[in-house]
Amino acid sequence: MKKNLKYAFILLSICAVCAFALGLTNSITAPVIAQTERENEMMALKAVSNGWSVGEQAETQGVPFVIYTVPLTENNEKRGYIVGLKGAGYGGELTLVASYTLEGEMLFAKMLTNSETPGLGKKSEQEGYMDMFKGTGSVKAVPTTKDMLDSSDAAAVSGSSVTFMAIGKAIAGGSDYVKSLGGSK
């Protein structure tokens, strides 16, 4: 019995030291990780801004797919919005940013975070993947199924249909939201 208590105390001590070390590591790295994520988000906003001035971010509540909006201006005149979007991909939640004209036409989009399958859903992070959504949302519908794509784009999303549909639905939701705002916000 004494031997078991000794081993239990040793294990408890090891666990306490490990827990302390993990807590210390987290307290040191958490602010650095948060800062890096914010810098990556700012770079993504700039990348999709179409060269227009990026305004202040406004959180959005109760709107499907939409997390926040950022007005885009040129010469103090509103030109469009950047919209933070979320969707449910094959690997879980994914987040992206997309810019829109005031009429809801999608200009540029960039993936921020996802847990998609490497080689399949992760293709959405590659340069040019989001081009199949450019110019959609206003006059032309946002593609949300593979049959809405031309054959080369449909082949590009082969094997990652869930990711493609999640991105398409999020971009369409952002377009609808921007249309509801118009130039008034």
Range of the domain at 68: 48-181
Both tokens of residue 164? 């493609």
Residue with the two structure tokens 């990026």 = 54
Domain assignment of residue 12, yes or no? no
- 67 located within any domain: yes
Number of domains the chain contains: 1
The answer to the question of residue 54 being in a domain is yes
Instruction: Kindly state whether residue 81 falls inside one of the protein's structural domains.
Output: yes
pLDDT tens per residue, range 6-51: 999 999 999 999 999 999 999 999 999 889 888 888 888 888 898 8
- Would you call 48 exposed, middle or buried from its count of C-beta atoms within 10 A (0-12, 13-18, 19+)? buried
Residue 170 lies in a domain: yes
Q: Which tens digit of pLDDT belongs to each residue from 65-92?
A: 999 999 999 998 999 999 999 998 888 8
CA distance 164 to 173: 14
pLDDT value of residue 119: 64
Yes or no: say if 41 and 49 are a contact pair by the CB < 8 Å rule: no
The verdict on residue 103 lying in a domain is yes
Q: Is residue 141 part of a domain?
A: yes
In a domain, 123, yes or no: yes
**pTM recorded for the entire structure:** 0.78
